[in-house]
Amino acid sequence: MPYTSHYLTCAGREIHFTEWGAGSAGTVIAWHGLARTGRDMDELAEHLSQRGWRVICPDTLGRGLSQWSPDPKHEYCLAFYARLARELLDQLGIASTHWVGTSMGGAIGMVCASGYFEPSLKGRIRSLVLNDNAPQLAQPAIERIKAYAGSPPAFATVLELEAFFRQVYAPYGWLSDAQWRRLTETSTRRLPDGRVTPHYDPAMVRQFTDHPDDYRIWDHYDALEIPVLCLRGAVSDLVLPETIAEMQRRGPALRGHLQVVEVPGCGHAPALNVPDQLEQVTAFIEASA
């Protein structure tokens, strides 16, 4: 695969990321969703890198190959994730970037672009793709996510874990058999008893209890002065049509900077792995460059 794997210490924590492409066109940060890893962005990163972009795909603290937090209460939250992002960009010498974020990754991009938590990031993010993310999320969907993410199951075999992933992530839309297998193998860890389970720290779900309003970020959204593309899964239970309507009445929409696209055949959240989705994101980034 045309990527390299790297580790940096950000805010005292080891953070893993993959890097794609030479970057003659510029840089894109591609940040994954709540219980996922940066490898979810492989198709998008490969596609963009072939168009001349440098793409950085981090594993959030507590996910994938990044360190688990020794202080879950204070570090599994958007403010700390923004600090991690700022230190990552600083160490990589990234003065300007575009941002594509799925679910939680979109929220991290929103609070980074607003500059509220990390003022030095204001103006460094040139455009933002919110992949089934919004400044307010539907509470029943949050409860659904908490139910499976907070108590991850364990299985005797990797194939059983793959079957679980295929069920719980069916709203992602179409994935090939090879993509399902890669999703499974890049987000699997083996427990001391030999069973396999999703590759993240279950304590990361404490974000919803220790920081219950962390995803109510209208103030950050209203402060955005950059182009924003919101991709909403057509049957998403997390981003509701009434929330999209509110987004279209305020913030970047008032400045003519908001585009909204419904992605057919998907719920929460489109996998960004098929030509239509890849081209939609790429065209938006290139138009914002």
With 60 as the cut, is the pLDDT of residue 40 above it? Answer: yes
Residues 8, 13, 18, 23, CA torsion sign = negative
Cβ atoms within 10 Å of 25's Cβ, excluding its own: 17
Tens digits of residue pLDDT in 94-118: 999 999 999 999 999 999 999 999 9
Average pLDDT over residues 55-80: 98
Angle formed at CA 79 by CA 267 and CA 172, multiple of 5 degrees = 15
Place of tokens 């992530």: 169
DSSP-derived letter for residue 274 is S
Q: For residue 56, what pLDDT is reported? A: 98
Instruction: Note the pLDDT of residue 147.
Output: 84
CA gap 54, 20 in Å, rounded: 6
Cα 107–232–173 angle (5° rounding)? 110
Which CATH number fits the domain 3-288, given the four candidates 3.30.450.40, 3.30.430.20, 1.10.10.10, 3.40.50.1820? 3.40.50.1820
Give pLDDT, residue 1: 53
- pLDDT for 154 equals 98
Q: What is the pLDDT of residue 165?
A: 97
CA distance 160 to 164: 6
pLDDT at 59: 98
| Other CB atoms within 10 Å distance of the CB of residue 87 | 18
Amino acid at 161: L
The number of CA neighbours under 13 Å toward the Cβ of 7 is: 8
- Phi and psi angles of residue 111, each rounded to the nearest 5 degrees, phi first: -75, -30
Question: Which is nearest to 7 in space by CA: 226, 281, 238, 18?
Answer: 18
The overall pTM is greater than 0.85: yes
Within the chain, residue ranges assigned H as helices are: 42-49, 72-75, 78-92, 104-114, 139-149, 158-168, 177-185, 207-210, 218-222, 241-247, 275-288
Residue-wise pLDDT for 198-232, tens only, equals 999 999 999 999 999 999 999 999 999 999 999 99
Domain ranges of the chain: 3-288
pLDDT at 148: 82
